[in-house]
């Protein structure tokens, strides 16, 4: 009779049997894969993750320059963004109350030149897009008494910068309305630059001035018993314009 312990029996003790359990299979157990190589994690997809896109193209840097110590938009073609542009007009009713309207259908381009005074602009206005807060008034404005949109659906402005100093100057050109072309000069200003979240460059401008509507044969009116006219001849023009660089 032996006093020593019997040798471990692989058949009775699976832990002692090298063949008792299969080695971890990396294909079956992802946790067993080494965290190296392509299997460590999928590469960022630039199409799905904007943060993974390289900072190249339009969003790589601001589209601005400096002249006379003032920031100005980079030279090139800038396209007016109709959804972020307002061409407003303000007249007076009974010669007293301000009545405001706007055109939502505004499109065009600004050719920003290296020399600010050489900058040009071309604008097209859909006259049927007029909005003044009153359907009856809008219908009257579209009629032959005013804009006559059936015969003259579009108005245009062709102009250029003048007397530009730093970020301000004049915008002077020709406004064609109802088939009649007359000179117009507005006070203009470059407001600033912004990079949008989609990689675009945007420049913001304002312009304002006063015109006499009768210069374009917009002469409809009604005399008031106490004197004066129902609708003012002088119309204030106010423009807020956002443009996107196209180069």
pLDDT band at 120 (very low <50, low <70, confident <90, very high): very high
Predicted confidence at residue 69, as pLDDT, reads 81
Q: Indicate if the pLDDT at residue 119 is higher than 60.
A: yes
Q: Is the pTM of this model over 0.75?
A: no
Give the pair of three-digit tokens for residue 124: 């097209």
Looking up residue 136, the CATH number of its domain turns out to be 2.40.128.110
For residue 43, being part of any structural domain is answered with no
Residue with tokens 């980079």: 74
Taking the alpha carbons of 146, 148, 152, 155 in that order, is the dihedral positive or negative? positive
Predicted confidence at residue 29, as pLDDT, reads 52
Domain span at residue 113?
74-245
For residue 62, being part of any structural domain is answered with no
Q: Give the DSSP H/E element, type plus range, for residue 137.
A: helix 135-142
Q: What average pLDDT does the segment 206-223 reach?
A: 90
pLDDT tens digits for range 64-102? 988 778 899 999 999 999 999 999 999 887 666 788 999
Q: pLDDT over 70 for what percent of the chain?
A: 70
Who's near 198: CB < 8 A, 6+ residues apart?
Answer: none
Out of 5-14, 110-119, 197-206, least confident range: 5-14
Q: Give the DSSP H/E element, type plus range, for residue 184.
A: strand 180-195
Q: Indicate if the pLDDT at residue 2 is higher than 70.
A: no
Give the pair of three-digit tokens for residue 91: 């007249």
Structural domains in the chain (count): 1
For residue 203, being part of any structural domain is answered with yes
Q: How many residues does the chain have?
A: 247
Which of the pair, 128 or 54, is modelled with greater confidence?
128
For residue 129, being part of any structural domain is answered with yes
Q: Indicate if the pLDDT at residue 14 is higher than 90.
A: no
Cα separation, 214 vs 91, in Å, equals 13
Predicted confidence at residue 241, as pLDDT, reads 96
For residue 123, being part of any structural domain is answered with yes
For residue 37, being part of any structural domain is answered with no
For residue 40, being part of any structural domain is answered with no
For residue 201, being part of any structural domain is answered with yes
SS (H, E, C) 99-110: EEEEECCEEEEE
């Amino acid at each position: 009779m032996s006093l020593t312990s019997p040798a471990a029996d692989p058949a009775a003790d699976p832990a002692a049997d090298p063949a008792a359990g299969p080695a971890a299979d990396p294909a079956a157990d992802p946790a067993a894969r080494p965290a190296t190589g392509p299997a460590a994690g999928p590469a960022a997809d630039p199409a799905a993750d904007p943060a993974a896109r390289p900072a190249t193209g339009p969003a790589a840097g601001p589209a601005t320059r400096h002249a006379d110590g003032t920031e100005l938009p980079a030279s090139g073609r800038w396209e007016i963004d109709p959804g972020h542009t307002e061409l407003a007009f303000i007249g007076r009713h009974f010669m007293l109350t301000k009545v405001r309207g706007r055109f939502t259908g505004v499109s065009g381009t600004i050719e920003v030149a290296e020399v600010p005074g050489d900058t040009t602009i071309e604008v097209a206005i859909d006259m049927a897009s007029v909005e003044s807060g009153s359907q009856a008034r809008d219908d009257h404005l579209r009629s032959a008494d005013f804009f006559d949109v059936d015969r003259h659906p579009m108005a245009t402005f062709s102009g250029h910068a003048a007397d530009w100093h730093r970020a301000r100057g004049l915008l002077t050109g020709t406004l064609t309305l109802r088939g009649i072309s007359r000179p117009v000069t507005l006070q203009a200003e470059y407001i600033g630059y912004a990079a949008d979240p989609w990689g675009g460059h945007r420049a913001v401008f304002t312009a304002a001035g006063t015109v006499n509507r009768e210069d374009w044969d917009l002469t409809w009116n009604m005399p008031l018993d106490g004197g004066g006219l129902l609708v003012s001849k002088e119309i204030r023009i106010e423009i807020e314009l956002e443009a996107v660089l196209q180069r």
